[in-house]
Every structure is written in C-alpha cells, then in structure tokens.
C-alpha cells in the first residue's frame, strides 16, 4: 500500500509488516468475528489501515481506533484511509497521548509504534532518519523505554481477556528492560531480518 508521509509521520518500514501479520493471524486463530482494534501512535495509519484492508478482504467486520498525539499525523492517517480503503467505515481517529483519552472499552488487538530509541543514540542515527523523521516519534528517553513502560501499565485496563498488544522495540531491549504490570505475560518476536523487534503482551490466564 502506498502511504502518504510528511514531516509529522514516520516512514513505514518493512518491519511493520510483521506487526500486521501477527495481528491478523491472531484474529484468525481466535476466530474473532468483529474484533475491536486500537493502533497507538498511528502516524500515517500504516498499521491500522493495513489491518483494516486485510480484514475487509476476508469480509471480517471490525472497529478500529487510530490515535496519535499529533493533529497533523491524524490528518495524514485520515487522508490515507480515504485513499486506500474502498469504504473506511468503523475507523475512528482520536487525538490521545497513549490510551489517556480512549473510551473505556476492551480491545482484542492493540498495535503500537512508540518512540523506543535511547536519547543518547539519536545523534548516531542515519541522516535519512534523524534529519527527516519527527524527533518526538523517535526519542524513547534515557534507555528507550520511558514511553513504552507508561503504555504497558495502561494495558490491563484496555485489553480483552484474550487480547494481545504488539509493539515495536529497540533491538537492544530484552524482557528485563521493561517495567511490566503483574497482570500481563510477554514475549519477544523477531522481525523479518531475524532481529528481536516486537514485544507481544497479553493478560495472564
């Protein structure tokens, strides 16, 4: 899919495909007939719109909330949805810092591409990243987990009992890097290049 990008959004990367794959396979495996989905830090809308497109092709109804802290990013995501989906129904665009302003509903799938790069390594990023992509979407604090940890501690309130959250992490992170609430279980998945890249989170059974 050909997504519009601008200075307020990250450029979609090949690694994003793995999040989409994990999400859609989870929906199929659990035979979710009308999944409730949230895409946090949506940027271009790449994750949420791609998931919507695949579900629509399988005639699976859905409800998807796409959120960002940037009004410009949400404008871009909305435009992409209208360009790329034949009928962008049941997509809701929400300005929110993480899950702060979300309605109190339970989501079956939550995807998130949050800032995860340690502050001290930003200067060493390639010019194509640090000079053209928004710093607020890159800088994850001292060790790259400041924003992710806050998000993780919001999850128990918003994940359904069989739900999953999938988020991208830095390749230097491991399970000990995160401040995890006791009510969840986690694992790390590798990207298409075999690099540890995604944290999956679900409620403890």
Mind listing the pLDDT tens digit for each residue in 94-151? 999 999 999 999 999 999 988 877 675 666 666 656 544 555 556 556 787 889 999 9
d(CA 79, CA 97): 21
Decide: 179 and 158 in contact? Cβ < 8 Å. no
- Token readout for 127 is 């010019």
Decide: 18 and 50 in contact? Cβ < 8 Å. no
Q: Which of 48, 108, 113 is nearest to 78 (CA)?
A: 48
What is 16-203's CATH number?
3.40.50.150
Enumerate the domain spans of the chain.
Answer: 16-203
d(CA 130, CA 87): 35
Per-residue pLDDT of the chain (205 residues; tens, 9 = 90+): 788 686 666 666 777 889 999 999 999 999 999 999 999 999 999 999 999 999 999 999 999 999 999 999 999 999 999 999 988 789 999 999 999 999 999 999 999 988 877 675 666 666 656 544 555 556 556 787 889 999 999 999 999 999 999 999 988 888 998 999 999 999 999 988 889 999 999 999 7
H/E/C letters for each residue in the chain? CCCCCCCCCCCCCCCHHHHHHHHHHHHHHCCCCCCEEEEECCCCCHHHHHHHHHHHHCCCCCEEEEEECCHHHHHHHHHHHHHHCCCCCCEEEEECCCCCCCCCCCEEEEEECCCCECHHHHHHCCHHHHCCCCHHHCECCCCCCHHHHHHHHHHHHHEEEEEEEEEECCCCCCHHHCCCCCCEEEEEEECCCCCEEEEEEEECC
């Amino acid at each position: 899919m050909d997504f519009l990008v601008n200075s307020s959004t990250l450029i979609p990367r090949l690694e994003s495909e793995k999040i989409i794959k994990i999400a859609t396979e989870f929906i199929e495996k659990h035979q979710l007939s009308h999944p409730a989905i949230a895409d946090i830090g949506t940027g271009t809308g790449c994750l949420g719109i791609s998931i919507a497109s695949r579900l629509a092709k399988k005639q699976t109804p859905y409800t998807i909330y796409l959120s960002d802290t940037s009004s410009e990013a949400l404008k871009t995501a909305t435009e992409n949805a209208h360009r790329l989906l034949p009928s962008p129904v049941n997509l809701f665009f929400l300005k929110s810092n993480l899950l702060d302003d979300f309605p109190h509903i339970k989501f079956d799938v939550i995807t998130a591409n949050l800032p995860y790069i340690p502050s001290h390594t930003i200067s060493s990023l390639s010019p194509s990243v640090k000079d053209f992509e928004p710093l607020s979407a890159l800088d994850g604090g001292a060790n790259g987990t400041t924003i992710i940890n806050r998000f993780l501690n919001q999850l128990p309130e918003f994940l359904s009992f069989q739900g999953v959250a999938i988020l991208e992490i830095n390749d230097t992170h491991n399970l000990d890097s995160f401040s995890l609430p006791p009510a969840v279980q986690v694992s790390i998945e590798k990207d298409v290049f075999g690099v540890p890249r995604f944290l999956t989170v679900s409620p403890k059974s």
